[in-house]
Amino acid sequence: MPPADAKIKELKEKARLIRETVIRMLTTAGSGHTAGSLGMADIFAAFYFHILKHDPKNPEWEERDRLILSNGHICPALYAAMAHSGYFPVEECLTLCKFGSRLQGHPERLRLPGIETTSGPLGEGLSQAAGMALALRMGICRTLGVEHACQTPSVRHEKRIYCVMSDGEQDEGNTWEAVMFAGKNKLSNLTAIIDRNGIQIDGMTEEVMPLEPLADKYRAFNWNVLEVDGNDISAFVVAVDEAKASEKPTLIIAHTIPGKGVQEIENDYHWHGKVPTKEECERFIKYLNI
């Protein structure tokens, strides 16, 4: 079921706040990744204000869902979502990339409570997420007295693992090892999301290293695959709910617009790793409020 209209309105406003915070923090830092961070704001708003079972006041809560950010370079959007949901003061976002800050250019698990893994080298996140998903199943199976966790995909899980990946990192061989592992073990408590924005640092993905037919590749490794407009919060929430009913790991290919919300930079791969100037910062924020 899609969220009620009032909830969608609330989530859209959270996404706008995330985007505004991202723009301000990147401008202040003078370093970071703009396009992907803005493009994923809707998905992070959906996660932190509707989907995830989590407690900002108790980040180590045992019953929480786990969100793994594999493409750690879009952490400004993650940090902004965490701050607005109460993990730390929003003002701290402006310390991004500063010496001694908890908010580094790639997330560090031991530095900031609520970060599940340290990420930076692309291609590692899905392996980490698959390991966590299997470990959760093993724990449940031990509780139920089931001997072979790997052979018991029907065991239902209340705690879920979510892994956010970029499309560019599908070039990494390590990703496909994890795809095979999760498919073989039918890790139904694992949902992966690919930010399918079509760009990477050197250009368009289909020119740098063609990925299509991406959905068919995952299906061939025994994954359930869904495709949605990643900037449509309602559609994304419905897809996440649908994933919970599958007895396979699920991939959600979320088609997003890099630079979403700032029309003059949307779909421009040059903004993958470029940050706004002070003048652009104020102009971009005005776009968000139109």
Q: Is the full-model pTM beyond 0.75?
A: yes
Residue 228, classed as helix, strand or coil, is: strand
**In this structure, which amino acid lies at residue 268?**
D
- pLDDT computed for residue 1 by the predictor: 80
List beta partners, residue 227: 253
To which H or E segment does residue 204 belong?
A: strand 203-204
User: Is residue 250 within 8 Å of residue 192, measured between CB atoms?
Assistant: yes
Q: Which amino acid is at 86?
A: G
Distance between start and end Cα atoms, the chain: 29
pLDDT at residue number 140: 67
Nearest to 36 by CA among 237, 197, 263: 197
State the Cα–Cα distance between residues 243 and 237, nearest whole angstrom. 10
As a whole number of angstroms, the distance between CA 261 and CA 40 comes to 11
The residue among 245, 178, 196, 250 whose CA lies nearest residue 219 is 250
Q: Exposed, middle or buried: residue 283 (CB in 10 Å: 0-12, 13-18, 19+)?
A: middle
Amino acid 54 reads H
**CA–CA gap between residue 128 and residue 287 (Å, rounded):** 37
For domain 5-288, give the CATH superfamily. Answer: Thiamin diphosphate (ThDP)-binding fold, Pyr/PP domains (3.40.50.970)
Is the peptide bond preceding residue 276 cis, with omega within 30 degrees of 0? no
List, in order, residues 6 or more apart from 95 with CB less than 8 Å away.
101, 102, 103
pLDDT in tens, 48-106: 999 999 999 999 999 999 999 999 999 999 999 999 999 999 999 999 999 999 999 99
Splitting the chain (290 residues) into consecutive groups of 10 residues, what average pLDDT does each group show? 94 98 98 97 98 98 97 98 98 97 96 95 96 90 54 65 98 97 97 97 96 98 98 98 97 98 96 96 91
Residue 155 pLDDT: 53
d(CA 41, CA 14): 9
> Using CA atoms, how far apart are residues 57 and 226, in angstroms rounded to an integer?
33
Burial call 97-119: b when 16+ CB within 10 Å, e when fewer = beeebbbbbebbeeebebbbbbb
State residue 289's pLDDT score: 82
Please report the pLDDT score of residue 158 as a whole number. 78
Residue ranges of the domains in the chain? 5-288
